[in-house]
Chains A and B, each alone.
Chain A
């Protein structure tokens, strides 16, 4: 009885990883579901029609946040609200915790998972951009075991990642922030919580004299897949960063981007927004004060 929106599918709640491998092997149209905050809307709109949903929700192996000396490992099922509040994540990867506060609305952050956002691979999403900036490693898992993929090799094209059929994302691993680390985040959307029209996530290392040792900036909504701003590392290396340097480097990076037009506006407008967000995130990372 009652109305239904999604097309019919079977559903299984995996009790262990073998259940996942068995289900994915048996049915090539099967899809895994984590928080469901991207997948269920897609089902209701009938943009997706899997034959079987394999619910990862009960798998303890995919949860938990572990901190060692130099690596922070975050289980794929860690929810957005947990990324936002977890003390270890806030200390070891403050950029990621900040990015979480920009993802959707509180009710969605209570269900959506870090792994789901990464596997979804939306170029306008906050986590992929932050993970690119953080030089994260994605831990893929299949029946054959674990496989590690650098974030820069993970996001391939529109909603397409390096995950193979029969593989799931188990965790992400990040280098732990040091005293020399600094970060900045900026995003523009019509309404807080909406997908970004443009944005940037910056992670950098500074030497004792304040000069830049390394810098990476993940961009939001800048192309088909989540991507890094081109050319930053070389331009900044060994230099004391000021506004003038940022302005020049951002202009050069923009010249190499082609965001294209979409519902939010023309290609030119979107480039302007991305450029401004990148300038702000860099200025914030290098503590150059509020941008006028």
Chain B
């Protein structure tokens, strides 16, 4: 079955079985292995991608359901080799150890980051409540997010706007 999806600004058309999960489509069909899969039934959040501006789990979606839609994966974050503000903050605050969960956290956070809002630590915990990390104990992740959001808000207030992944190809 044909499915046409814009991923990280690029249009892909593939013929896939209806039963193919979006996570497998991204990893095996497109070769974008930054999106990690842990539980593969919706519990851990490591497979989170951004679908039309909202974070969703790619393992609880079929590739054919993404037909005509646009997706951003962790590969879409950096710009010409320049790391995204979220990635810089995770590096600076030790928001990762093994890094397995990190793409899921980053993609969960991207829409919040793009809004340019500052959040309290409790609100940050609510945003990331659907993502499991087995290494960090979450404290450094919360600090990373705080740093990234503060930076994004500063930029928004100065009129420059935060980093945005390029995502402008047309699906239709």
B11 within 8 A of A: no
Structural contact, B19 and A43, CB atoms closer than 8 A = yes
With A2-B27, A44-B21: A106-B108 Cβ-Cβ less than 8 Å:
yes
Q: Does A107 sit at the interface, judged by CB under 8 A?
A: yes
When chains A and B are docked, how far (Å) is the Cα of A13 from the Cα of B18?
A: 11
Is B167 in the interface zone, CB < 8 Å from A? Answer: no
Instruction: Check A5–B40 contact: CB distance below 8 A.
Output: yes
Task: Output the nearest chain A residue to B67 by Cβ-Cβ distance.
Answer: A13
The total of Cβ contacts below 8 Å across the A-B interface reads 96
Q: How far is the CB of A119 from chain B (nearest CB, A)?
A: 17
Task: Kindly state the separation between the CA atoms of A55 and B21 in the bound complex, as whole angstroms.
Answer: 15
Contact among A2, A10, A55, A193 for B20, CB-based, below 8 A: A2
B55 interface residue (CB < 8 Å to A) = yes
Cα distance, A105 to B129, chains bound together (Å): 6
Q: In the complex, which range does the number of interface residues on chain B fall in?
A: 20 to 34
How far is B66's CA from A13's CA once the two chains are assembled, in angstroms? Answer: 11
B157 at the interface (CB under 8 A from A): no
Interface residues of A in 17-64 (CB under 8 A from B): 36-37, 40-41, 43-45, 53, 55, 57
**A–B complex contacts, Cβ < 8 Å, 5 sampled:** A7-B19, A104-B130, A105-B131, A110-B51, A193-B130
Q: Please list the residues of chain B having a beta carbon within 8 angstroms of any beta carbon in chain A.
A: 1, 17-21, 24-25, 27-29, 40-42, 45, 48, 51, 54-57, 59-62, 64-65, 67, 108, 126-127, 129-131
Given A8-B19, A13-B64, 9 other A-B contacts at CB below 8 A?
A3-B24, A3-B28, A5-B19, A37-B42, A57-B65, A106-B108, A106-B127, A111-B57, A193-B129
